[in-house]
Amino acid sequence: MKRPMKRIAVYCGSASPEDARYIELARKVGDELAKRGIGVVYGGGRLGLMGAVASGALDAGGEVIGVIPEALAGSEIANTDCTELHVVSGMHERKKAFTDLSDGFITLPGGVGTMDELWEAVSWAQLGYHSKPVGLLNAFGFFDHLLAFNRHMAEVGFVRPAHQGIIIAAETVAQLLDDMASYEPHTSIFEMKATDL
Protein backbone atom coordinates (compact mmCIF):
# COMPACT_ATOMS: atom_id res chain seq x y z
CA MET A 1 0.00 0.00 0.00
CA LYS A 2 1.33 3.41 -0.95
CA ARG A 3 1.73 5.92 1.86
CA PRO A 4 0.29 9.39 1.06
CA MET A 5 2.91 12.11 1.30
CA LYS A 6 1.55 15.64 0.90
CA ARG A 7 4.64 17.31 2.38
CA ILE A 8 8.17 16.18 3.08
CA ALA A 9 10.67 17.85 5.39
CA VAL A 10 14.00 18.23 3.60
CA TYR A 11 17.07 18.40 5.83
CA CYS A 12 20.11 20.02 4.24
CA GLY A 13 22.73 22.65 4.92
CA SER A 14 23.06 26.35 4.23
CA ALA A 15 26.61 25.83 2.92
CA SER A 16 27.56 25.95 -0.78
CA PRO A 17 30.31 23.36 -1.36
CA GLU A 18 32.82 23.99 -4.13
CA ASP A 19 31.53 20.86 -5.87
CA ALA A 20 28.53 22.21 -7.80
CA ARG A 21 26.90 18.76 -7.91
CA TYR A 22 25.52 19.29 -4.42
CA ILE A 23 23.65 22.49 -5.26
CA GLU A 24 22.33 20.91 -8.45
CA LEU A 25 21.21 17.85 -6.47
CA ALA A 26 19.27 20.06 -4.06
CA ARG A 27 17.55 21.87 -6.93
CA LYS A 28 16.58 18.53 -8.47
CA VAL A 29 15.09 17.36 -5.17
CA GLY A 30 12.90 20.47 -4.94
CA ASP A 31 11.91 20.09 -8.59
CA GLU A 32 11.04 16.39 -8.23
CA LEU A 33 8.95 16.96 -5.11
CA ALA A 34 7.01 19.75 -6.81
CA LYS A 35 6.41 17.66 -9.93
CA ARG A 36 4.98 14.89 -7.72
CA GLY A 37 2.70 17.37 -5.97
CA ILE A 38 4.61 17.07 -2.69
CA GLY A 39 5.20 20.24 -0.69
CA VAL A 40 8.61 21.06 0.78
CA VAL A 41 9.09 21.83 4.46
CA TYR A 42 12.63 23.05 5.12
CA GLY A 43 14.82 25.34 7.19
CA GLY A 44 13.64 28.60 5.65
CA GLY A 45 17.03 29.84 4.42
CA ARG A 46 17.95 31.23 1.02
CA LEU A 47 21.61 30.12 1.06
CA GLY A 48 23.37 26.92 0.03
CA LEU A 49 21.50 23.66 -0.44
CA MET A 50 18.55 25.06 1.51
CA GLY A 51 18.04 27.85 -1.00
CA ALA A 52 18.55 25.48 -3.92
CA VAL A 53 15.85 23.07 -2.69
CA ALA A 54 13.41 25.94 -2.26
CA SER A 55 14.23 27.43 -5.68
CA GLY A 56 13.89 24.07 -7.40
CA ALA A 57 10.44 23.55 -5.90
CA LEU A 58 9.22 27.12 -6.39
CA ASP A 59 10.41 27.25 -10.00
CA ALA A 60 8.37 24.09 -10.66
CA GLY A 61 5.26 25.61 -9.06
CA GLY A 62 5.52 23.71 -5.77
CA GLU A 63 4.61 24.62 -2.22
CA VAL A 64 7.52 25.60 0.02
CA ILE A 65 7.13 26.09 3.76
CA GLY A 66 10.15 27.51 5.56
CA VAL A 67 10.69 27.21 9.30
CA ILE A 68 13.44 29.43 10.66
CA PRO A 69 14.50 30.45 14.18
CA GLU A 70 14.21 34.12 15.14
CA ALA A 71 17.99 34.43 15.53
CA LEU A 72 18.50 33.48 11.87
CA ALA A 73 15.44 35.25 10.45
CA GLY A 74 16.87 38.63 11.42
CA SER A 75 20.23 38.07 9.73
CA GLU A 76 18.97 38.49 6.14
CA ILE A 77 19.23 34.80 5.29
CA ALA A 78 15.48 34.07 5.56
CA ASN A 79 13.88 33.14 2.23
CA THR A 80 10.93 35.50 1.84
CA ASP A 81 9.98 33.83 -1.46
CA CYS A 82 8.53 30.83 0.41
CA THR A 83 4.84 30.01 0.13
CA GLU A 84 4.82 30.28 3.93
CA LEU A 85 7.62 31.32 6.28
CA HIS A 86 7.24 30.39 9.95
CA VAL A 87 9.53 32.17 12.40
CA VAL A 88 9.95 30.14 15.60
CA SER A 89 11.75 30.80 18.87
CA GLY A 90 14.55 28.26 18.53
CA MET A 91 15.92 25.02 17.11
CA HIS A 92 13.75 22.68 19.20
CA GLU A 93 10.61 24.42 17.97
CA ARG A 94 11.94 24.32 14.42
CA LYS A 95 12.46 20.53 14.48
CA LYS A 96 9.07 19.96 16.08
CA ALA A 97 7.48 22.02 13.29
CA PHE A 98 9.30 19.91 10.67
CA THR A 99 7.74 16.80 12.21
CA ASP A 100 4.28 18.32 12.66
CA LEU A 101 4.06 19.76 9.12
CA SER A 102 5.44 16.82 7.14
CA ASP A 103 4.56 13.25 6.20
CA GLY A 104 8.19 12.14 5.98
CA PHE A 105 11.79 13.31 5.96
CA ILE A 106 14.59 13.39 3.38
CA THR A 107 18.16 14.15 4.40
CA LEU A 108 20.52 15.52 1.76
CA PRO A 109 24.28 15.85 2.13
CA GLY A 110 25.09 18.39 4.82
CA GLY A 111 26.97 19.15 7.99
CA VAL A 112 26.45 19.01 11.74
CA GLY A 113 22.98 20.61 11.77
CA THR A 114 21.77 18.29 9.05
CA MET A 115 23.05 15.27 10.96
CA ASP A 116 21.33 16.51 14.12
CA GLU A 117 18.02 16.67 12.24
CA LEU A 118 18.49 13.21 10.71
CA TRP A 119 19.32 11.48 13.98
CA GLU A 120 16.46 13.16 15.80
CA ALA A 121 14.02 11.95 13.14
CA VAL A 122 15.46 8.42 13.46
CA SER A 123 15.41 8.53 17.27
CA TRP A 124 11.83 9.80 17.40
CA ALA A 125 10.75 7.07 14.94
CA GLN A 126 12.51 4.42 17.01
CA LEU A 127 10.77 5.60 20.18
CA GLY A 128 7.37 6.07 18.57
CA TYR A 129 6.94 9.86 18.54
CA HIS A 130 6.20 9.50 14.81
CA SER A 131 5.80 6.67 12.29
CA LYS A 132 6.87 8.61 9.19
CA PRO A 133 9.49 7.41 6.68
CA VAL A 134 13.03 8.72 7.18
CA GLY A 135 14.85 8.95 3.85
CA LEU A 136 18.55 9.42 3.22
CA LEU A 137 19.63 10.55 -0.25
CA ASN A 138 23.02 8.89 -0.61
CA ALA A 139 24.07 10.76 -3.75
CA PHE A 140 27.73 10.50 -4.78
CA GLY A 141 28.27 8.00 -1.93
CA PHE A 142 28.19 10.88 0.55
CA PHE A 143 26.58 8.79 3.30
CA ASP A 144 28.44 5.50 2.70
CA HIS A 145 30.36 5.80 5.98
CA LEU A 146 27.28 6.85 7.94
CA LEU A 147 25.34 3.85 6.64
CA ALA A 148 28.28 1.58 7.53
CA PHE A 149 28.34 3.06 11.04
CA ASN A 150 24.58 2.51 11.37
CA ARG A 151 25.11 -1.16 10.41
CA HIS A 152 27.93 -1.36 12.95
CA MET A 153 25.66 -0.03 15.72
CA ALA A 154 23.13 -2.73 14.79
CA GLU A 155 25.77 -5.48 14.69
CA VAL A 156 27.03 -4.53 18.14
CA GLY A 157 23.46 -4.49 19.48
CA PHE A 158 22.76 -0.79 19.97
CA VAL A 159 20.03 -0.75 17.29
CA ARG A 160 17.32 -3.36 17.80
CA PRO A 161 16.40 -5.62 14.87
CA ALA A 162 12.93 -4.01 14.69
CA HIS A 163 14.54 -0.60 14.08
CA GLN A 164 17.25 -1.47 11.60
CA GLY A 165 15.06 -0.50 8.64
CA ILE A 166 14.13 2.98 9.83
CA ILE A 167 16.66 4.71 7.60
CA ILE A 168 15.61 4.31 3.96
CA ALA A 169 18.61 5.03 1.73
CA ALA A 170 18.75 5.42 -2.04
CA GLU A 171 21.07 7.08 -4.55
CA THR A 172 18.38 8.94 -6.52
CA VAL A 173 15.48 11.05 -5.29
CA ALA A 174 13.00 9.20 -7.53
CA GLN A 175 13.95 5.83 -6.03
CA LEU A 176 14.00 7.26 -2.52
CA LEU A 177 10.50 8.70 -2.83
CA ASP A 178 9.18 5.41 -4.21
CA ASP A 179 10.77 3.48 -1.33
CA MET A 180 9.44 5.96 1.23
CA ALA A 181 5.91 5.64 -0.18
CA SER A 182 6.11 1.88 0.47
CA TYR A 183 7.42 2.21 4.03
CA GLU A 184 5.71 0.00 6.61
CA PRO A 185 6.03 1.42 10.14
CA HIS A 186 8.05 -0.70 12.56
CA THR A 187 7.22 -1.60 16.14
CA SER A 188 8.27 1.35 18.27
CA ILE A 189 9.88 1.17 21.71
CA PHE A 190 6.66 2.59 23.19
CA GLU A 191 4.83 -0.47 21.81
CA MET A 192 7.35 -3.03 23.03
CA LYS A 193 7.18 -5.07 26.20
CA ALA A 194 10.04 -4.90 28.68
CA THR A 195 11.16 -8.39 27.59
CA ASP A 196 11.63 -7.10 24.02
CA LEU A 197 13.94 -4.26 25.06
pTM reported for the whole predicted model:
0.94
C-alpha to C-alpha distance for 42 and 54, rounded to whole angstroms = 8
The 10s digit of each residue's pLDDT in 48-76 is 999 999 999 999 999 999 999 998 887 76
Q: What is the dihedral of CA 146, 8, 161, 144, to 10 degrees?
A: -20
Specify the pLDDT at position 193.
76
Domain 7-182 adopts which CATH fold?
Rossmann fold (3.40.50)
DSSP H helical ranges for 36-183: 48-59, 70-73, 91-101, 112-127, 144-156, 173-181
C-alpha to C-alpha distance for 93 and 87, rounded to whole angstroms = 10
Domain limits, the chain? 7-182
